[in-house]
């Protein structure tokens, strides 16, 4: 009897020890996983990229806001009752449940892999996407990280786009789509190693003017010549992409400080300027950003490098600008001013001020220049130089121009009816207004409606547009 009790006691002790050990091991794993998820949650949300962490059974254990919206997940990452049907189509296979296809593709590969130019089917509608999957050893408890780069809707019949969406057909360089995917892949790699990388966006100075002067054929040849240069420059640490129109993106995988970035950019500008294949005097400018200082994902990095290039080209030709938060602030200020201009036009806050023009010999008034002013509800009277530059950039200069012409012609009619002595009214005109469809016809209609003689007006192209 005593022996039996002793054996039972020892067994209980052993079982208790095993239970405690297993419990400790489980708590340790749970703690590690929670720490990892906490780290992920602290990361800023991707803008258009849906990010999820999946268990080895492909259950969602973490999702950013984009993923929660896409897959209709609640705060506990469970599918809601009215969840949309999300399927995935890879190659020529029929669309099937997203997670089933992901599991099938994952079982065929190890560590990290891409599903490029695949189709995400959302309630029957197709979107072309790139999917990045990481199941490497840095994940705890065999979790799987999945990032979906959301792109524009692609028609089902556009098979060539599905197949070749990663290559720019005109130049043969990797496309914008490839750039977005590759940069996000690089972001994930650099997060693990805590390293940085650099993006350079090169744009041809005054390319629109070159197109107008040389014609489409010659300007297209310039793009191809620049592309050939970048094909030769592509190597293991430097990758080149054709972005929109005359812009080319260079991704430099190694860490560079500001001086090194400037030197590399300067060399690129010099090489293209001296490129023997160019038959014209070609100048280019470059905007630069660095990960992670200027953005934590591809979308932000590309947005910011475009801002930097814009500032470089605004300042001078063959210029280089490294992104600063001041550029972002300027962009936000432009948006605010743009909204206030729209509201001001709607609320009739603008008015015309007529500056007289005199003949210095006779001291007679021979004309007047119509100058626009803004009676801002908070700032009071605002001169044109404070808002016309923003209006030029945002396109609202056309709306302002229409207002000026309409009000000046109406005022001329009032003066004529009062019997005032005839004089010329000068109106400032931007090139953008001249390019408006049926611009002359619209002016003729205004003159006709108000019975005003067009010969009473001078049109002066503004210096900023000339």
Residues with Cβ within 8 Å of 225's Cβ and at least 6 positions away in sequence, in order, are 275, 277, 278
Confidence of residue 370 (pLDDT cuts 50, 70, 90): very high
Cα separation, 345 vs 98, whole angstroms: 49
On the question of pLDDT at 299 being above 60, the answer is yes
CA atoms lying within 13 Å on the CB side of residue 28: 6
pLDDT category at 296 given cuts 50, 70, 90 is confident
User: What percentage of residues in the chain have a pLDDT greater than 90?
Assistant: 24
3-class secondary structure for 7-51?
A: HHHHHHHHHHHHHHHHHHHHHHHHHHHHHHHHHHHHCCCCCCEEE
Beta strand 86-89 with 60-63 is unpaired
Residue 231 has pLDDT above 60, yes or no: yes
Q: How far apart are CA 302 and CA 47, in angstroms?
A: 12
| Six token digits for residue 420 | 């005032």
pLDDT tens for residues 131-145? 888 775 444 457 788
- Provide the pLDDT for residue 2: 63
CA distances from 135 to 57, 100, 258 (A): 13, 16, 34
Dist. CA 252–CA 296, nearest whole Å: 16
At 201-229, the pLDDT tens digits run 999 998 888 877 888 788 888 998 899 89
Does residue 391 have a pLDDT over 90? no
**Domains, in order of start, for the chain:** 42-160 (3.30.450.20), 166-323 (3.30.70.270), 331-461 (3.20.20.450)
The pTM score is 0.46
């Amino acid at each position: 009897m005593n022996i039996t009790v002793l054996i039972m006691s020892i067994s209980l002790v052993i079982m208790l020890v095993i239970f405690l050990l297993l419990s400790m091991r489980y708590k340790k794993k749970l703690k590690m996983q929670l720490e990892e998820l906490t780290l992920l949650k602290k990361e800023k949300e991707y803008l258009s990229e849906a990010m999820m962490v999946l268990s080895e059974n492909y259950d969602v254990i973490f999702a950013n806001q984009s993923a929660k919206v896409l897959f209709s997940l609640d705060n506990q990452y469970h599918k809601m009752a009215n969840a949309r049907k999300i399927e995935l189509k890879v190659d020529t296979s029929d669309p099937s449940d997203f997670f089933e296809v992901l599991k099938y593709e994952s079982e065929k590969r190890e560590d990290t892999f891409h599903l490029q130019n695949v189709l995400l089917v959302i309630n029957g509608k197709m979107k072309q996407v790139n999917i990045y999957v990481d199941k490497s050893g840095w994940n705890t408890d065999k979790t799987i990280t999945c990032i979906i780069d959301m792109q524009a809707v692609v028609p089902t019949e556009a098979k060539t786009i599905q197949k070749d969406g990663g290559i720019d057909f005109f130049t043969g360089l990797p496309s914008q789509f490839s750039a977005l995917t590759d940069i996000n892949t690089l972001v994930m790699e650099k997060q693990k190693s805590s390293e940085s990388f650099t993006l350079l966006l090169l744009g041809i100075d005054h390319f629109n003017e070159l197109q107008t002067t040389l014609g489409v054929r010659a300007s297209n040849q310039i793009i191809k010549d620049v592309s050939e240069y970048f094909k030769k420059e592509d190597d293991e640490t430097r990758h080149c992409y054709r972005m929109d129109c005359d812009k080319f993106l260079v991704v430099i995988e190694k860490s560079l400080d500001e001086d090194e970035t400037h030197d590399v950019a300067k060399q690129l500008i010099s090489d293209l300027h001296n490129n023997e294949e160019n038959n014209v005097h070609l100048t280019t400018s470059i905007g630069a950003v660095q990960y992670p200082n200027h953005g934590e994902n591809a979308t932000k990095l590309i947005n910011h490098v475009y801002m930097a290039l814009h500032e470089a080209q605004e300042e001078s030709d063959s210029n280089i600008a490294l992104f600063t938060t001041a550029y972002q602030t300027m962009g936000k200020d432009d948006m605010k001013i743009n909204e206030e201009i729209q509201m001001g036009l709607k609320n009739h806050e603008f008015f015309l001020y007529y500056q007289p023009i005199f003949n210095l010999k006779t001291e007679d008034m021979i004309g007047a220049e119509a100058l626009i002013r803004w009676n801002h509800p908070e700032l009071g009277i605002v001169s044109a130089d404070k808002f016309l530059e923003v209006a030029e950039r945002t396109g609202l200069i056309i709306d302002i121009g229409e207002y000026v012409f309409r009000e000046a012609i109406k005022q001329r009619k009032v003066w004529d009816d009062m019997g005032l002595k005839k004089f010329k009214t000068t109106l400032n005109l931007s090139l953008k207004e001249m390019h408006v469809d049926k611009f002359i016809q619209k002016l003729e209609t205004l003159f006709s409606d108000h019975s005003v003689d067009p010969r009473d007006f001078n049109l002066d192209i503004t210096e900023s547009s000339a």
